[in-house]
Amino acid sequence: MKALVLEAVKKLRIQDYPINETVGPYDVKIAIKACGICGSDIHYYLEGAIGDFVVKEPMILGHEAAGIIVEKGEKVTGAALGDLVCMEPGIPAPFSPETLGGNYNLDPEVVFWATPPIHGCLRETVTHPARFCFKLPQGMTAAEGAMMEPLAIGIEAAKKGRITPGDTALVIGAGTIGTLAAVSASAGGCSRVFISDVKAEKLGIAGSYPNIIPINTGKTNLLDTIMQETGGRGVDLIIEASGSPKVYPDFFRCARRGGRVVLVGMMNGTVPLDVALLQGRGISIETIFRYTNAFDRAAALVSAGKIDIKRLISKTFAFDDAVAAYEYAAAGHPDVVKVMIELA
């Protein structure tokens, strides 16, 4: 079938690629209709690796997708041919201690699209467990459905942040993930969500949402601004979504006493922590790794009008132009959030 294959670093080609997938009793086959380009896809494209995950064989890219069910296994219930679904890209082992313990995202055996050596889903069809496919509410498009994957990360961050209605939040980093964490925190009940970045264009997009207040830390001091805005108390919740080591350890000072911090941004290497400060202020730290049970919630929030996701799809390419789409995404235009590829 036609697929976008990463053959080597910076060598991408649409080709007819042999894929041998059988539809098991609990699987569905999906004709892919839209697939977003993620930061991780760009890392594999430009560098061929993320940490220990190294692309050694040709690999199909893409893990943020939606499509139409065209075949289903005999034991599948609650899904019909023709359903437009988005897919959760990681399949955990069903009986691992992590899955049984409720943290299926942490299963070390998870099979996750476009994470070497596993092929991604930027191809004509994929076969996937029906339980990891989520029917999109009426009116949602495939492109919006493909956005449920990054939105699921925002939802997970908000969930781990244990929001009480009326909380104030600060999200650090207004990239795709930070912006989606901010809209999730707002939809989750925060009264005001501050978002900081050093790029005005990113802040312009995030700040176009109601309730989200941009802070350009290239121009103003983050701690001073947060303290001014919160009567010297600090915010209830901080979501770190920049992945920049430079923000450590200072940003913790923006949390109020008893506040929570959720670490989303990833990095290589270590960062300093002011343990006494965290203890003295009773600040608790959570981390997230991907998500659990978040896709249907993400779609429900979009469908309910609580999150406008369309706004973040900056440019759409046809599948035949997928290489150009990757080059465009890799150029890192500051006013671009999500680059989407649509399949006929």
Answer with the entry of Zn ion, ligand NAD, none that 177 interacts with (C-beta below 5 to 8 A by kind): ligand NAD
Q: Figure out which of the listed residues 48, 175, 188, 207 binds ligand NAD, where binding follows CB under 6 A.
A: 175
Q: According to the binding rule CB under 6 A, does residue 170 interact with ligand NAD?
A: no
β partners of residue 34: 66, 342
Of 153 and 302, nearer to ligand NAD (C-beta) is: 153
Q: Of 83 and 197, which CB lies nearer to ligand NAD in the complex structure?
A: 197
- List the end-to-end C-alpha distance of the chain, in Å, as a whole number: 14
- Of 72 and 159, CB closest to ligand NAD: 159
User: Smaller CB distance to ligand NAD: residue 122 or 329?
Assistant: 329
Pick from 188, 214, 234, 265: which binds ligand NAD (CB under 6 A)?
A: 265
Cα gap 94→79, rounded to integer Å: 20
Residues numbered 30 to 49 that lie near ligand NAD (CB under 6 A) are 39
Q: Which is nearer to Zn ion, 181 or 190 (CB)?
A: 181
Residue 217 makes contact with ligand NAD by CB under 6 A: yes
Q: Compute the distance between CA of residue 312 and CA of residue 325 in angstroms, rounded to an integer.
A: 16
Instruction: CB nearer to ligand NAD: give 40 or 168.
Output: 40
> Does 247 help bind ligand NAD (rule: CB under 6 A)?
yes
Largest CA distance in the chain: 61
**Which alpha helices (H) appear in 171-283, and where do they start and end?**
176-187, 200-206, 222-229, 275-280
CA distances (Å), origin 217, targets 173, 199, 221, 223, 342: 10, 9, 6, 10, 36
Q: How far is CA 202 from CA 125, 168, 301, 333, in A?
A: 34, 21, 23, 10
Give the integer Cα–Cα distance in Å for 292 and 283: 24
Q: Using CA atoms, how far apart are residues 234 and 10, in angstroms rounded to an integer?
A: 44
Tokens encoding 138:
């009426």
Q: Is 103 in the site for ligand NAD (CB under 6 A)?
A: no
From CA 113, how far away is CA 129, in angstroms rounded? 13
Which element (helix H / strand E) includes 97? Answer: helix 97-100
Smallest gap from residue 287 Cβ to ligand NAD (A): 7
The one of Zn ion, ligand NAD, none whose footprint includes residue 174, by CB under 5 to 8 A per kind, is ligand NAD
CB of 50 to ligand NAD, least distance (A): 8
Q: Choose one: 13-21, 118-126, 241-249, 299-307; the region binding ligand NAD (CB under 6 A).
A: 241-249
Residues 28-87 that bind Zn ion (CB under 5 A): 38, 64
> Are the beta carbons of 193 and 182 closer than 8 angstroms?
yes
User: Does the protein bind ligand NAD through residue 168 (CB under 6 A)?
Assistant: no
Site string for ligand NAD, 177-216 (x = CB under 6 A): xx-----------------xxxx--x--------------
Residue 158 carries which side chain, given as an amino acid letter?
Answer: A
- Whose CA is closest to 123, among 317, 315, 319? 319
For the segment 274-293, give every residue that binds ligand NAD (CB under 6 A). 288-290
Residues that bind Zn ion (CB under 5 A): 38, 64
